[in-house]
Amino acid sequence: MLARLLSRMDRTGIDSVVVALREGGSLAQELRGNGITVHFADLSSVPRAPARLVSLLGLVREVRPNLIQGWMYHGNLVAEMARALSGLATHSVWNIRHSLHNLRCTRRTTVSLIRVLARFSSRPACIVYNSHTSARQHEAIGYSRERTAVVPNGFDCDLFRPDAAARLAVRRELGVSDGALLVGLVARYHPVKDHANFFAAAARLSRILPDAHFVLAGDQLSTDNGELMSQISRAGIADRVHTLGERTDTHRLNAAMDVATCCSLAESFPNVVGEAMACGVPCVVTDVGDSARIVGNSGLVVPAGDAEALCGAWASLLSAGAAVRRGLGDTARQRIVDLYSLGSVVAAYEELYGRLLGCPFTESRPRRAAD
């Protein structure tokens, strides 16, 4: 989302510099390709962290940002430290993109950091959450209510769109018929994404709708993941599941689906739901984070961890017929265009920065925002 945001932000008013806490990564290349300066703080090594922090403070003093924007918990901590120790009269903004539904799936060190940051949450000028659910949950454990702002994720509706050609092409690639029913899940392999529940629901659906196939895309969702393949085999659906691994063409994959799913145990604002909806695909989501708010009347919402309810929702949409799904898909896309377009989210951040600094970003001299 940060890469998308900076790719569209007004360069005549905002000059952004990104500091990544770890080395490497494809997003750094993407940012640089869009003309964004990227530095690596490399704070992942505890022994070298003090020296790296000193270097980071030197960079901050050199850039002299009007605003330091943290991004996620560790970024928020470092942003606040940089603001406090730099000696500059600058603002900090935190950005939180995580829900607190199920902290058992979160590292203990991160859980501790979440609670520590609550004690210092009055220090930033603003805390931006990407979902209303996340804002309420964090406020409940002590985060400052006065600092709260909610700016949802945004979607490129030109890239993510209905595409009949992609629908046919993906089906050819998967080796399934044009009329096969495809249920899609785009999510990395992680306990919080609850693939076990997905497979339990898929086994049920296979007995109801023999033409149903299941498409999985995401990190570690490939045949070399032995644990994943064992789960699929035990569910008895190996001949119906297509594991595609991590993909960069999810806009094509989404356009091929009849129904898209997010069956997570916890989410804040799941991008995969908005992306599928922008492609004109009705979604079945678990009632976590802002998923129900995003879907509205364009899809179905079920309890988390309930395989029977998940299967029933899939069966309802798939049995309703293509015309009904197209109607829901049209409603879903229009909802994303109206409420969650990338342009509207970029404008919300620009307005926020301008308000915090007391000026619109229309001056001839660009102001800097270090993210």
How far is the C-alpha of 90 from the C-alpha of 87, rounded, in Å?
9
Evaluate if residue 52 carries a pLDDT over 90.
Answer: no
Q: Please state which CATH number belongs to domain 2-154+342-370.
A: 3.40.50.2000
- 101 falls in which pLDDT band (50, 70, 90)? confident
Q: What is the pLDDT of residue 103?
A: 76
Do residues 183 and 259 make contact, with C-beta atoms less than 8 angstroms apart?
A: yes
CB atoms within 10 A of CB 4: 19
Q: Which two tokens stand for residue 322?
A: 């293509």
* Stretch among 248-257, 303-312, 332-341, 354-363 having the lowest mean pLDDT: 354-363
pLDDT at 51: 87
Q: What is the pLDDT of residue 27?
A: 86
Q: For residue range 311-321, list pLDDT tens digits in order.
A: 999 999 999 99
Domains 2-154+342-370 and 164-339 are alike in CATH topology: yes
- Domain boundaries of the chain, sorted by first residue: 2-154+342-370, 164-339
Say whether pLDDT at 371 is over 50.
no
Average pLDDT, the chain: 92
pLDDT of residue 262 exceeding 50 = yes
User: Residue 361 has what pLDDT?
Assistant: 53
Is 368 a residue whose pLDDT tops 50?
no
Residue 365 predicted with pLDDT over 50:
no
How wide is the angle at C-alpha 331 spanned by C-alphas 186 and 150, nearest 5°?
65
Residues 195-213 as b or e (16 or more Cβ within 10 Å = b)? bebbbbbbbbbbeebeebb
Helix (H, G, I), strand (E, B) or coil at 302: strand
Residue 360: the pLDDT is 64
Q: Is the pLDDT of residue 148 over 80?
A: yes
**Averaged over 270-292, what is the pLDDT?**
97
Residue 370 has pLDDT above 50, yes or no: no
Q: Which of 118-127, 131-140, 222-231, 355-364 has the lowest mean pLDDT?
A: 355-364
| Most confident of the following: 21-35, 92-106, 269-283 | 269-283
CB 103 within 8 A of CB 80: no
Q: Which residues contact 349 (CB under 8 A, 6 or more apart)?
A: 5, 9, 151
Tell me how far apart the alpha carbons of residues 203 and 165 are, in angstroms, rounded to a whole number. Answer: 29
Q: Out of 60-74, 92-106, 173-187, 241-255, pick the least confident.
A: 92-106
Instruction: Please report which confidence band the pLDDT of residue 293 belongs to, taking 50, 70 and 90 as the band edges.
Output: very high
Q: What is the pLDDT of residue 106?
A: 77
Pick among 3.30.565.10, 3.30.70.1400, 3.40.1280.10, 3.40.50.2000: CATH of 164-339? 3.40.50.2000
Tens-digit pLDDT profile for residues 189-238: 999 999 999 999 999 999 999 999 999 999 999 999 999 999 999 999 99
Lowest mean pLDDT among 6-15, 41-50, 343-352: 41-50
The arithmetic mean of pLDDT across residues 105-122, rounded, is 91
pLDDT, one tens digit per residue, over 320-356 is 999 999 999 999 999 999 999 999 999 999 999 999 9
> Do 205 and 314 form a contact (C-beta atoms < 8 A)?
yes
**pTM to 2 decimal places:** 0.87
- Give pLDDT, residue 53: 87
pLDDT at position 363, please?
A: 44
Residue 12 pLDDT level (bands cut at 50, 70, 90):
confident
